[in-house]
A and B are shown apart, each in its own frame.
Chain A
Amino acid sequence: MARKKNEKSKSAKQPSLLNHIKREWRLYTFLIIPITYFIIFKYTPMAGNVIAFRKYRGGPNLFGTEWVGFSYFKMFFKDATFWRAFQNNITLSITYLLFRFPLTLLFALLLNELRGKRVKKFVQTVSYLPHFISMVILAGMIKEMVSLNGPINSLIASLGFEKIGFISQPQWFPILYIVSGIWQGLGWGTILYLAAMTGINTELYEAAKIDGANRFRLAWHVTIPGILPTIMTLLILDIGGLMGSNFEKILLLYNPLTYETADVISTYVYRMGITGGNFSYATAVGLFEGVIGLILVTTANQISKKTAKASLW
């Protein structure tokens, strides 16, 4: 009965918004607490970015005291440390993406080829494990693994080379960052691909087999096109996240000796703002980072919409 009424009103005339709310008010009450939460904890800080253009003098006033225009932006644009962080940010994120993205996809495809159910499940369980480790432990593990008495240096020494101070030499930081990132995220990254693969119609495989396709052609012509929307979605998200590099990991792993290659925008914001107390200045830098991220994700989404017909919104 209720359904009929709904259909009727849809085809003829929508009920007024007020009537709609009156009828569905109970469902709308679910939203009260979470939306309030979003307003306070997500949108108020966004508005708080206004202190990038105003002077913040401490205290509870999130919005600062007087307008100063773009002076904080001018300040960091002239700051060599900022540009170093900016450059590191781009280098680290892009190299990481270039390694991680194809490796994850490849690993998902290989996992999908495993026949034994138990073997597959075992490999998956093991590969997800590092995802559940905290950054504090990850950083501790990295330090243990590459310490002067650790296994990697023992191996290097047994091969007759000089031991390497990985943690204190800037040229090693990007490698530690990328390798540890892949170690931690490779298995987890495959989960959505595998989910998408199970969604592919098996008839497509049968048809391709009848047409004489071998395993590799099946992967190339059926599996990959089948998971293309997932690939594109994850790629867009990754591109959107390019600026926000793995802040916690870097903070735990870097030290003044490796700032040269390890300092990224977010760690710079942390040092300037939280440690240094230059709140307005640090906010200006952070806002710059956030806006670039937003532009990146929007652009990637538009491109993907046009070329692959997959989009986030």
Chain B
Amino acid sequence: MKESRAYRTFRIINSLIMAFVVICTLYPFLYLIAQSFSSEAAVYAGKVTIFPIEFTTKTYEIILSKPDFFRYYGNTILYSIVGTVISVAGTAILAYPLSKEKLRLNKFFTPFVLFTMYFGGGLIPNYILVAKTLHMRDTIWAVVIPGAISAYYVILMKTFFASLPGELEEAATVDGLTAYGIFAKITLPLSKPILATMVLFNMVGIWNNWFGPSLYLQSKEKWPVALYLRQIIDSAISTTEMGASSDIATQIAATVKSSAMVLTALPIICIYPFVQKYFVQGMMIGSVKG
């Protein structure tokens, strides 16, 4: 075939491009990990590339010896779990009826939900509502409620529900199941891919959320780890704030920052490849109809 040589050249070039993308994507992660296991002197001299220089776990010991760190981490875990339950439940019970074409009021409710994708209240009215009108400031609710249901996720889930075979539901109706029974016993068990997707997306969203907590959480003991990390990165930790254990303050350096970043990102990086199969499937089904 005439094209074969040109095509072979293309495939080689394509592989090189892919290798380049992979290396560029991974390098910052590898650098960060290498840095976190290297001595401060080596980092400072700019000697670290992707392998640790003068291997040490000192910075991890410093961070893990701080009870504070576990408290922030615990807060993040708590917010993620509570927030994910609320978000996924809320998204599911909204998407389910919206996926039913026979519901006539959906002509009103669907645009009502979708409009929020294109126009929002804006930062200030949201802030006043949450902090001053509803007095949710400094509570877990300010972190997990305001962003609980996103219209985009509702569309994804609604499209998935709509793709499920309607015959099953009809058979269940004949068997005497109500809408509640159908939803709990038929629809949800068939929706594992989209449920896994929603759990991952919402969990990642809350785990990584920095701005919401920084707006609403005043007491430091309620901070999620993202806020603490932000403080370490900014090296804004003054000796006084750190209290008695001022040794950490003097040792805040590039290495501590990178270890903290590694520890914060770790759970997400570990979980996501296992859920990938589901979210790719979930997004694919969700995008077929758009």
Structural contact, B257 and A34, CB atoms closer than 8 A? no
How many interface residues does chain A have, given as a range? Answer: 35 or more
Question: Could you tell me the dominant secondary structure of chain A's interface residues?
Answer: helix
Structural contact, B123 and A273, CB atoms closer than 8 A? yes
Q: Does B32 contact A (CB under 8 A)?
A: yes
Q: Does A306 contact B (CB under 8 A)?
A: no
> How far is A26 from B123 in the complex, measured between Cα atoms in Å?
36
Cβ contact of A144, chosen from B35, B120, B123, B179, cutoff 8 A: B35
Cβ contact of A49, chosen from B93, B122, B265, cutoff 8 A: B122
Structural contact, B21 and A127, CB atoms closer than 8 A? yes
* A residues adjacent to B (C-beta < 8 A): 2-3, 6, 17, 20-21, 24, 26-28, 30-31, 33-35, 37-38, 40-49, 51, 56, 58-62, 107, 110-111, 113-115, 119, 122-130, 132-137, 139-141, 143-145, 147, 149-151, 153-154, 157, 183, 186-187, 191-192, 195-196, 198-199, 214-216, 229-230, 233, 240, 247-248, 251-252, 266, 269-270, 273-274, 279, 282-283, 286-287, 289-290, 293-294, 297-298, 310, 312-313
Closest to A51 in B: B125
Please give 19 more A-B residue pairs, beta carbons under 8 A apart, in addition to A41-B146, A48-B126.
Answer: A24-B179, A26-B179, A27-B103, A31-B93, A38-B116, A48-B125, A62-B133, A119-B18, A133-B208, A134-B210, A135-B208, A143-B233, A149-B46, A151-B46, A151-B49, A215-B10, A274-B124, A290-B120, A313-B114
Q: Tell me the number of A-to-B contacts counted with CB atoms below 8 Å.
A: 272
Cβ contact of A141, chosen from B21, B28, B104, B149, cutoff 8 A: B28
Structural contact, A140 and B25, CB atoms closer than 8 A? no
Which B residues are CB-close (under 8 A) to A196?
287
Structural contact, A145 and B28, CB atoms closer than 8 A? yes
Closest 3 CB pairs of A and B: A45-B121, A48-B125, A134-B208
> How far is A195 from B290 in the complex, measured between Cα atoms in Å?
11
Which A residues are CB-close (under 8 A) to B26?
126, 129
Closest to A196 in B: B287
Q: List 6 A-B contacts (CB under 8 A).
A: A24-B102, A38-B113, A137-B265, A144-B258, A196-B287, A283-B122
- Output the least CB separation between B114 and chain A (Å): 7
Question: Could you tell me the dominant secondary structure of chain B's interface residues?
Answer: helix
> How far is A59 from B134 in the complex, measured between Cα atoms in Å?
11
Closest to A251 in B: B211
Structural contact, B208 and A274, CB atoms closer than 8 A? no
> How far is A233 from B264 in the complex, measured between Cα atoms in Å?
34
Structural contact, A31 and B18, CB atoms closer than 8 A? no
Structural contact, A30 and B96, CB atoms closer than 8 A? yes
Closest to A109 in B: B14
Q: Does B3 contact A (CB under 8 A)?
A: yes
- The residue in A60, A143, A144 that gathers the most chain B C-beta atoms within 10 A of its C-beta is A144
Which B residues are CB-close (under 8 A) to A107?
21
Cβ contact of B287, chosen from A38, A125, A192, cutoff 8 A: A192
Q: Does B62 contact A (CB under 8 A)?
A: no
Structural contact, B284 and A215, CB atoms closer than 8 A? no
Which B residues are CB-close (under 8 A) to A157?
46
Structural contact, B18 and A140, CB atoms closer than 8 A? no
- Output the least CB separation between B215 and chain A (Å): 7
Structural contact, B122 and A269, CB atoms closer than 8 A? yes
Closest to A107 in B: B21
Cβ contact of B121, chosen from A31, A49, A56, A151, cutoff 8 A: A49
Binding-face segment, B53-61, B64-72, B241-249, B266-274? B266-274
Structural contact, A195 and B100, CB atoms closer than 8 A? no
With A126-B25, A137-B265, A139-B233: A31-B109 Cβ-Cβ less than 8 Å: yes
Structural contact, B290 and A136, CB atoms closer than 8 A? no
> How far is A165 from B102 in the complex, measured between Cα atoms in Å?
61
Structural contact, B170 and A37, CB atoms closer than 8 A? no
Structural contact, A134 and B265, CB atoms closer than 8 A? yes
> How far is A313 from B112 in the complex, measured between Cα atoms in Å?
12
Structural contact, A35 and B233, CB atoms closer than 8 A? no
Which B residues are CB-close (under 8 A) to A119?
18
Q: Does B143 contact A (CB under 8 A)?
A: no
Closest to B116 in A: A42
Which A residues are CB-close (under 8 A) to B129?
40-41, 44-45, 48, 62
- Output the least CB separation between B182 and chain A (Å): 9
With A41-B145, A215-B7, A269-B122: A136-B226 Cβ-Cβ less than 8 Å: yes
Q: Does B261 contact A (CB under 8 A)?
A: yes
Which B residues are CB-close (under 8 A) to A273?
123-124, 127
Structural contact, A123 and B93, CB atoms closer than 8 A? no
Q: Does B229 contact A (CB under 8 A)?
A: yes
Encode contact with A along B163-183: 1 for CB under 8 Å, 0 otherwise: 000000010011000111001
Structural contact, A286 and B18, CB atoms closer than 8 A? no
- Output the least CB separation between B274 and chain A (Å): 11
> How far is A62 from B11 in the complex, measured between Cα atoms in Å?
60
Structural contact, A294 and B119, CB atoms closer than 8 A? yes
Structural contact, B103 and A134, CB atoms closer than 8 A? no
Structural contact, B22 and A252, CB atoms closer than 8 A? no
Closest to A46 in B: B121
With A31-B94, A49-B121, A313-B114: A144-B32 Cβ-Cβ less than 8 Å: yes
Which A residues are CB-close (under 8 A) to B133?
60-62
Q: Does B148 contact A (CB under 8 A)?
A: yes
With A62-B129, A135-B208, A274-B215: A290-B122 Cβ-Cβ less than 8 Å: yes
Q: Does B128 contact A (CB under 8 A)?
A: yes
